[in-house]
Amino acid sequence: MNARAGLDRKKIVQAAAALADEDGLNTLSMAALASRLGVRAPTLYHYFDGLNGLKSALSIAALEDLSARLGRAVMGKAGDEAVLSLAHSLRSFAHEHPGLYDAVQRAPDDADPAWQAAGQETVEIMVRALSAYELTQDDALHAVRMLRSIVHGFVSLELHGGFGLPLDVDETFRRLLAALLAYLHGTDR
């Protein structure tokens, strides 16, 4: 009784993604994943270098997903509209895929080329989205970091219950983005 499960790295990563989104990235285990795939845990070692290797693969896949989504979000948009679209895409990705979102944050131990590439891709998407502001190269990179910081900080606090008070969170997000856009317009510098 050994009918093959027909696994491959992609199917395993997909199942891991589902588990991470459902139960959290931290509780993702080889045991739980194998069980979901109808297979014994050691089987997974045939495809990945342990739990760490699996999580690295998940991080890369998640980052690629996110990158593709961000790319679609800014197609045909420029300036404020593009920045807002990026921000809302990031936030909705985090809401829809909390496990994958956490995985994106977690850099693989050994800086994997695929990870580097996906990360660079997202930065480039963001830089292109900012092109309408006609920033210098460095200013654009700072602006990308600012956007990422703002959205990540907000989303992270939001998802982990950091905002206790009964005050509209969407409004806070709007204001954060308004502050960023104002800065990009140079109202202040």
Partner DNA sequence: TTGATTATCTAATATTATTAGATTATTATC
Partner DNA sequence: GATAATAATCTAATAATATTAGATAATCAA
d(CA 28, CA 18): 10
Binding of DNA at residue 7 (CB under 7 A)? yes
Binding of DNA at residue 51 (CB under 7 A)? yes
Binding of a second copy at residue 105 (CB under 8 A)? yes
Q: How far is the CB of 23 from DNA (least distance, A)?
A: 11
Q: Name residues contacting DNA, limited to 9-48 (CB under 7 A).
A: 29-32, 38-43, 45-46
d(CA 155, CA 125): 20
H-only helix segments in the chain: 9-23, 30-37, 50-73, 79-96, 98-105, 113-129, 137-159, 169-185
Given the complex with DNA, which of 12 and 129 has the nearer CB atom? 12
Per-residue interface string for the shown chain with a second copy, residues 115-154, x marking contact by CB under 8 A: -x--x---x--------------x--xx--xx-xxxxxxx
DSSP tag of 109: S
d(CA 146, CA 77): 20
Name the residues that contact DNA, by CB under 7 A: 1-7, 29-32, 38-43, 45-46, 50-52
